[in-house]
A and B are shown apart, each in its own frame.
Chain A
Amino acid sequence: MITLTIDGKRVTVPKGTSLLDACRIAGADIPTLCHDPELSLAGSCRMCVVEVAGRRNLIASCVTPAEEGMQVETESEAVIEARRIILELLLARHKLECHVCERDGDCKLQDYCYRYGVKDSRFKGEEPHFYKEDPNPFIERDYDKCIMCTKCIRACAEITGAFAINLKNRGHNAVISTAFDLGLKDSTCVFCGQCIMVCPVGSLVSKVEKGRGRTYQTEKVRTVCTYCGTGCTLELKVLNDRVVGVNSIRDEKLSPANRGALCVKGRFGWDFIDSPERLKEPLVRKNGELMPVSWEEALDYTAKRLKEVKEKWGSDSIAVFTSARTTNEENYLLQKLARAVIGTNNIDHCARL
């Protein structure tokens, strides 16, 4: 165990604890932009800097191990000055349009500017010119709002394993890019949206959700994705009784199967809920046209036709194909129906939609 003093408070933490975690244990609220407990460390945003007695420079707490006897100040004058200047530097390259931004009210840049009273940037000059036109149906890439935390890169590589994006260019001109700067659909991107999940600002936005309601305006309903048997937890954003978006829940206790990670269907494929093409009642084709009927009529008709086919052509002329979107129990019952009632082993499953 290690004992150190943080903002005048003595705390004891296990050896190997990061200074960031030690500060948080001591009750200090340390701002971070590039740190994510699930991703490898970057140590690059420098927002988590703290002052450690005897050290000439400020220390990035996320990448520094807590040491015995350290005297740490988390909001000294120098620390606040550094954080303010960093925010001002970021604002100088930021398309500041909170009034129309999807992330208004849920944005770390906005929060920290509020916290440190950063209204404007003294470093204004060349405006941002990083917007990336990307005609794909799911993800908007407005790097004019990018704060270069590289979390998207790390999430893509370390959570999804797609390695679709990385850094291009150096210095101020560094920007997030796919290989050869192609659109996401021509890259190895699988449109999981994990990059959106970790982006702390409005730089990456779901095109499907855009303009339909910000997180704080919506009611949140925790549920399980219905697409496949993995059982990913997600949070539906509901506005006026309509689903208008999907959030990740990254807390492992609430989201044990996926810790917030989703696939393209769970993240972007929920628009079927209100689709006018959605089937809402059984249909039976009569005189070449599909007509709405009662469940009773539909089931009777299906049983009758199955019987006829079986009698005329034999059991093995029928095959049953089940769906990942139904439950295990339903799938079990269907294979019972196939083998025991219809009398065929022609039973299969889509495995994944």
Chain B
Amino acid sequence: MNGEKRILLEYADKINPEKAEDYIKVGGYKGLEKARKMKPKQIIEEVKKSKLRGRGGAGFSTGMKWSFVPEHAPVKYVVCNLDEGEPGTYKDRIICEKNAQALLEGMAICALAIGAKKGYIYCRGEYPHIVRLLNNAIESAKKAGVLEDFDIEVRMGAGAYVCGEETALIESIEGKRGEPRFKPPFPGVEGLWGVPTVVNNVETFACIPYILTHGAEWFASIGAPDYPGTKVLTLTGDINNPTYFEVPTDYLLSDVIYKLGGGIKGGRKLKAVQVGGSSGAFIPPENIHTSIDFDSMSRIGASLGSGAVFVLDETRDIVDVATRIAKFFEHESCGKCNPCREGTFRMYEMMQRINAGRGSEEDLENILVLSRVMQKASLCGLGQAAPIPIETTIKHFREDYMRKLM
């Protein structure tokens, strides 16, 4: 064994994710059955006790999130975030392709816990085959009778990264321009069409059935104590084994690269690794002996984010990579708030200048000031995180920048 621990992906390629019966045969829908015998408050307590934290990036306690939903609101919604826009991330697609029924079961359990009758899955626009797969999976679950009166509708995004942000996602489902709302109010109180809404990531929902089936203590005992469970990671870049893995959350980043990933391509040395997608920090080789869980990553100034692991070998031009990332954010900024709309645009201009050998030390200083303000003053996580890859490359690889300056 390479140290993987498969819970969500245990029956990958052994069952047909579209068929409820396949899933039921391997123990599926037991969690939902159990939940039906529990009071909503007990379900939420169980999820709280499991210490499950959101797998979409922010790492917020799932049980807490559910508990914020006002009990007596007449209409509520469950929304699954399958926007998966973070470059290098495809774990939600894998979870759907291997175990879609677990996602449906997780949503149905959430619906019981908060008292919702309707759920939406917001699917990334580039995944039309997943929309088909999910629609078939929902139909099969409906036929099997396991969902009872809980309805799930699949909606499709149109390729905007920002629509992965929960409130922009809600706007998009409502048929509006994909722009984040200010918070508070949080979706739990005022979400889709103004009513209480729980938004969770695919992986978060997919953990729920296992928590209900095997118990909160069991889940809480796996991996890192404050961010327990497993995490599905996707490896990309200069790595021998660029694929997906499910590991306990106390797994070391260095083991992800050298054990699971089989090391750097061509036996070259590691330059840097970026965890969590394009908005993640770049981690220098000296920091990779760190557990991948949310808090350990934060301690080294990084973030687990979506669980994408992007590996760069020693031959890579990190300034060029950071410039491309700046371009991505310049393209994806929704344009609502000043620091991000203009900040991402000017950041890309300055990075292009530096990358082309026309930048000055002043540009570098201006980037750092801008980066600070964007992180502190942008409206949503996009603008707050956009400068992080640039700032961290300047921090850890300043010589690479200096070499390119005029």
Contacts and interface: CB of A to CB of B under 8 A. Distances in A.
A89 interface: yes
B24 interface: no
Nearest to A121: B346
B378 interface: yes
A44 B336 contact: yes
Q: Determine chain A's interface SS by DSSP, over half rule.
A: loop
Interface residues of B, number: 34
**Dominant secondary structure of chain B at its interface with chain A:** helix
Given A43-B182, A44-B336, A174-B335, A85 B341 contact: no
Given A57-B377, A85-B370, A44 B337 contact: yes
A125 interface: yes
A57 B182 CA distance: 14
Contact of B332 (A64, A147, A148, A171): A171
A172 B345 contact: yes
Given A57-B377, A86-B338, A81 B349 contact: no
Contacts of A45: 337-338
A282 B349 CA distance: 68
A90 B373 contact: no
| Interface magnitude class on chain A | 35 or more
B330 interface: yes
A63 B184 CA distance: 8
Given A93-B342, A171-B344, A172-B345, A82 B376 contact: yes
A85 B369 contact: yes
Interface hub of B330, B333, B337 (most chain A Cβ within 10 A): B337
A82 B349 CA distance: 20
Given A57-B375, A57-B377, A148-B335, A41 B345 contact: no
Nearest to A56: B376
Interface in A132-186: 147-148, 166-167, 169-174
B42 interface: no
A92 B342 contact: yes
A167 B341 CA distance: 13
A86 B375 contact: no
Contacts of B62: none
Interface of B: 160, 177, 182, 184, 330-339, 341-346, 349-350, 362, 366, 369-370, 372-373, 375-379, 384
Shortest Cβ-Cβ A-B pairs, 3 listed = A174-B335, A89-B342, A43-B182
16 contacts: A43-B182, A44-B337, A57-B375, A57-B376, A57-B384, A58-B376, A58-B377, A78-B376, A85-B373, A86-B377, A166-B177, A169-B335, A170-B334, A171-B332, A172-B330, A172-B333
